[in-house]
Structure 1
Amino acid sequence: MTAADHSASRLLRTGRHLRALPAASPPAGASSAVPAPPYALRPTARRPHRSAAPPAGVRAVSRDRTAKPAPGRYNVCYVNAFQAQPDDGSWEDDHPELLLRDEHGDPVIDEDWDEPLLDISTSAKRAALMEIVGPWIDGCAKAGYDAVEPDNLDSYERSDGKLTAGHAAAFARLLARRAHQRQLAIAQKNTTDLLPQHGRIGFDFAVVEECTRYKECTDFAAAYANRVFVIEYRKQDFTAACRAWGKKLSLTLRDREVRPAGAKGSLRRYC
């Protein structure tokens, strides 16, 4: 994998919502045994490059869908696909039925980010959500991105039991189909729970936060044949990751606030 930069202002989520699962040793031949996505990539859809030694310099960039892709880079388009932005009142105004509600009728909120969860609990609601999120993916393709990164795949863990991993997988399959129809690769963002289904869903690579800290790098590397972008926030984790995975995965150390380059407190290192 080549070195990657993650530069959108709220691209990376600083609070982990995942359970820390023990890493399993990859089975022999795991890289060659990864099942093919159900929606075959068209010739113009590019997966990120896998290499034994990442070259110096940033070659891949992940940015918010409202930003322009970086010329001459492998560009990944960030889409908040499973939750609403905290300052986006259009969901409550225009699509209140698509927000997940508690027993009192109030939106279920991701407390760490003050983001209402989208209701992916039925096929009808997932189809209605695709009428909104689908055009965002189309916009990524039109802007010239190479791939899309739908965030909050793990929103079901914050749903008070109202959503399941099965609901997330079903919606992710729709997102993958749309991305592939637009010649975009699609990334799995975190969530080891859904790794066994990644082939059936249609994910092509992974973007993973703190897999060293949570002992998940081996699982993601085996599932995606090393097509994995890793972001660490602690120097000790980054150092350990570089030692263990520096010749196989794309590794980035970032400050938790994801400050722009040159800003006080901004931290960017790659290996």
Structure 2
Amino acid sequence: MPTTTRSATALAVACAVVLLLPACRPTAGPAASPVAATPAATASADAAAPTEAPEATASPTTGAATPSLTTGPTPAASTPAPVATPTPGPTTAPRTVTLPAPGARFEYQLGGADEPADDTAVVVRDSTAAPTGRYDVCYVNGFQTQPSQTERLLRTEPALVLHHDGEPVRDDGWPDEVLYDLTTPELRARVAERVGHVIDACAAAGFDAVEVDNLDSYTRSLGRITPADTLAYTALLVERAHAAGLAFAQKNTAELTTQVRALGADLVVAEECREWQECDVYTAAYPVVLDVEYDRAAFDAACAEQSDPATRAAGLSVVLRDRDVSPRGAPGAVHDAC
């Protein structure tokens, strides 16, 4: 099952990240118009790999070896042989992505696909579901394994799983999910290739954006994964999404908002940002914020704020869902929006 609600991180850690990231991108333009991906997060169309089924395990790729430094006497200078100047190859224009209208009504359908309401403009669904033909956001578990893949990965590629004292590090709230090991550039590249096949499959299916969950996994890593590791890996996923023509949605983790936005992320999917008083952090950085509340009182408070011109956030859309995000007609299902 895809992740639903997770506890918000209490401590701000943005100041702990080494400030090597570029400045935040300018605010995106009008809704539904093409938005160019930032240069740091753009790849050519040729970079998109052939898609696989989301459940398929990607073949690992290894990073380039770092050349060793040699000491000793400096060799005598010699006249270099003439070298032919290569002819520049054709260049490929950067892919562009689109965003939904700020404040557009959306539905969060991770627990099962539904026919959207007539006035719904944006639908978030799991990567295993089909898009609706509206503005479709594809859910991908990018920092932890999906439950159906966990045991297979532990058997076939255990090096991609974070371990502590010989045991895989699991999410306490979702113990059938284990954390990917993002502690070295080589591991980040291998995990990004694996998750990248799912991102490519979302694009091939016709989705418009990708929501990559568990950005906050580093807070559950027993100190093994740092915010800097997380951001370096996120940069690879943003690049992969943009190369496939998909907008990239930050998922939760308000404390890294400035840094993730600077990497080229385009919008936010947040859970309970009104409950945790985080919506302003997201709306200050992004033109589109899709907020899912699970508590009726928090939802009503958010709707009251959105109905008042003095407190309304133009880019914020809010829905109320049951914690199992069940389809309509299921026992206990809750679907409401304002």
- TM-score bucket (shorter structure): 0.7 to 0.9
How many percent identity over aligned positions? Answer: 42
Distance in 1 (CA, whole Å) between partners of 2:220 and 2:306 is 31
Q: Rate the CA distance shift 1:155–1:32 in 2: closer, same or farther, 3 A.
A: closer
8 Å contact kept, 1:11–1:63:
no
Q: Structure 2: any 5+ residue segments left out of the alignment?
A: 13-23, 29-36, 44-93, 107-117
State the partner residue of 1:48: 100
Instruction: Report SS of the residue matched to 1:66.
Output: coil
Q: Map of 1:8-27 to 2, 5 A cutoff? A: 10-19=1-10
Amino acid in structure 1 at the alignment position of 2:171: D
TM-aligned CA deviation for residue 87 of structure 1: 3.3
State the partner residue of 1:26: none
Q: Rate the CA distance shift 1:128–1:252 in 2: closer, same or farther, 3 A.
A: same
8 Å contact kept, 2:139–2:211:
yes
Amino acid in structure 2 at the alignment position of 1:49: A
State the partner residue of 2:41: 39
Instruction: Report SS of the residue matched to 2:301.
Output: helix
Distance in 2 (CA, whole Å) between partners of 1:253 and 1:132 is 33
Q: Does 1:199 align with 2:242?
A: no
Distance in 1 (CA, whole Å) between partners of 2:125 and 2:268 is 15
8 Å contact kept, 1:34–1:199:
no
Q: Structure 1: any 5+ residue segments left out of the alignment?
A: 1-9, 22-30
TM-aligned CA deviation for residue 100 of structure 1: 0.2
Q: Map of 1:171-250 to 2, 5 A cutoff? A: 171-225=233-287, 227-245=288-306, 248=314, 249-250=316-317
| Counterpart among 182, 186, 189 of residue 120 in structure 1 | 182
TM-aligned CA deviation for residue 40 of structure 1: 5.4
Instruction: Report SS of the residue matched to 1:154.
Output: helix
Moved more, 190-199 or 240-249: 240-249
TM-aligned CA deviation for residue 85 of structure 1: 1.8
8 Å contact kept, 2:293–2:320:
yes
TM-aligned CA deviation for residue 90 of structure 1: 1.6
8 Å contact kept, 1:14–1:257:
no
Distance in 1 (CA, whole Å) between partners of 2:321 and 2:11 is 21
Instruction: Report SS of the residue matched to 1:121.
Output: coil
TM-score by length of 2: 0.69
Instruction: Report SS of the residue matched to 2:180.
Output: coil
| Counterpart among 59, 63, 69 of residue 121 in structure 2 | 59
Aligned residues: 249
Query: Which whole-Å deviations, capped at 9, do the CAs of 1:45-85 have from their partners, x for residues lacking one?
Result: 2122225x7597211111111111112x1100111010012
Amino acid in structure 2 at the alignment position of 1:97: A
TM-aligned CA deviation for residue 151 of structure 1: 0.4
Amino acid in structure 2 at the alignment position of 1:170: A
Distance in 1 (CA, whole Å) between partners of 2:6 and 2:241 is 27
Amino acid in structure 1 at the alignment position of 2:237: L
Q: Does 1:253 align with 2:320?
A: yes
Query: Which whole-Å deviations, capped at 9, do the CAs of 1:112-155 have from their partners, x for residues lacking one?
Result: 01111100111000111122111111101000000001100000
Amino acid in structure 1 at the alignment position of 2:322: D
State the partner residue of 1:6: none
State the partner residue of 1:106: 167
Amino acid in structure 1 at the alignment position of 2:187: K
Amino acid in structure 1 at the alignment position of 2:320: L
Distance in 2 (CA, whole Å) between partners of 1:238 and 1:166 is 33
8 Å contact kept, 2:97–2:247:
yes
TM-score by length of 1: 0.85
Distance in 2 (CA, whole Å) between partners of 1:34 and 1:74 is 20
